[in-house]
Each structure stands twice: as structure tokens, then as C-alpha cells.
Amino acid sequence: MIPQAVLLALGALVGTATAAAVPKVAVSPRDFLNPGQLRCLWTEQDHADLGCLTSLGEWTTNEAECGTFVGSWNSNTTFFLSSPDSGSCGLDGSFFKCGRDGVKPFNFGTWGREGPVPGRDILRAGEYATFASDSANAPPASGDPPLDIHIYMGIEPGKWVFLGWKDL
């Protein structure tokens, strides 16, 4: 079974999703707004934790490289995300990045705790909540360098993930 967020993302690619499909969910006060990590949760089966994002917004399985993130309200349903170590987080095209190459703040939202991973807030960028790497070795092994991550397009050979929050 394909998760709802993946279907919405695929529908948007072929023009069948609408703005009405984007949930109007306020951010939980404890999630995204306090220091935390962005965990890479597999979209399949038990939503296994497949690593985290570094402070530059790259996918790693080396726990020592996990970045710290914090959000700040932009509206009652969206927030800006940043890494205290590297700066603003946003999308460069479809790639998730933080503090690199003049990354501009992006209006992120959440699917809320009733979203694609029950009990976990999941980061979304507009209608999109599923991310992937172009590497067939995604997730990277703990000794491998971190991978760039981008909005899932349906052609990536590795595993796809939701970006879930973990309070620190």
C-alpha cells in the first residue's frame, strides 16, 4: 500500500492534486519549534528510522553527524526551519539544504500527528512530504559520506523517507 503523502506527491507531479489536498494543520508546540533532529523515517512497513539530516540538510546514518534544527512561526500553519550550526533551511529546486549557497528561508509545514506516520509530526514542503536521494545506496552506510536529499520524484533507486521530528 502506498502512503497518502506519496500519492499526493505523485498526483501533484501529474497535475491531479490540488491546493485543497494540503492539510491546514498547526504545528504542535513541542515539535519543530524546540531544538530537535530531522529523522529519516522509511515510508514503508514500520517506518524504520534510517538516519537523520546533518546541519547542512544531508542524509546520514552516522549519529555523530546529526544536525540540530529549530523552527520559527511564519503563520498559524507554517514555519521557517534553520540549523543553529549552518543557518536557514530551504529548497534549492527540489533539494533540501541548509545554510549553503545562499539558501533562503522556506515556508515548511507539517502533516501533524495524524499524518502519514501516526504519532509523529512529518515535515512537508507544500504538498510534498516524501524525500529521497538519487543514490542507489540510500540510506548511506554509517561510514559513507552524507547524501543530498530532495523531494521524491518516483525514479530514485534507494529508499524514500518522511522527515520526522525528534525533540532534543
pLDDT at 56: 96
Under the banding of pLDDT at 50, 70 and 90, the label for residue 1 is very low
Q: How far apart are the first and last CA of the chain?
A: 32
pLDDT exceeds cutoff 90 at 9: no
pLDDT > 70: percent of the chain: 82
pLDDT exceeds cutoff 60 at 109: yes
- Tell the burial category of 167 from Cβ atoms under 10 Å away from its Cβ (0-12, 13-18, 19+): exposed
pLDDT at 103: 86
Calculate the average pLDDT of the chain.
83
Lowest-pLDDT choice from 17-21, 57-61, 142-146 = 17-21
List, for residues 117-160, the tens digit of each pLDDT value.
988 889 999 888 999 999 998 999 989 999 999 999 999 999 99
* Domains defined for the chain, CATH in brackets: 33-165 (2.80.10)
From the CA atom positions of the chain, what is the Rg in Å?
14
pLDDT at 13: 35
SS percent in the chain: helix, strand, coil, step 5 = 10, 35, 55
Q: How many other C-beta atoms lie within 10 A of the C-beta of residue 63?
A: 10
Model pTM?
A: 0.82
List, for residues 61-93, the tens digit of each pLDDT value.
999 999 999 999 888 788 999 999 999 999 999
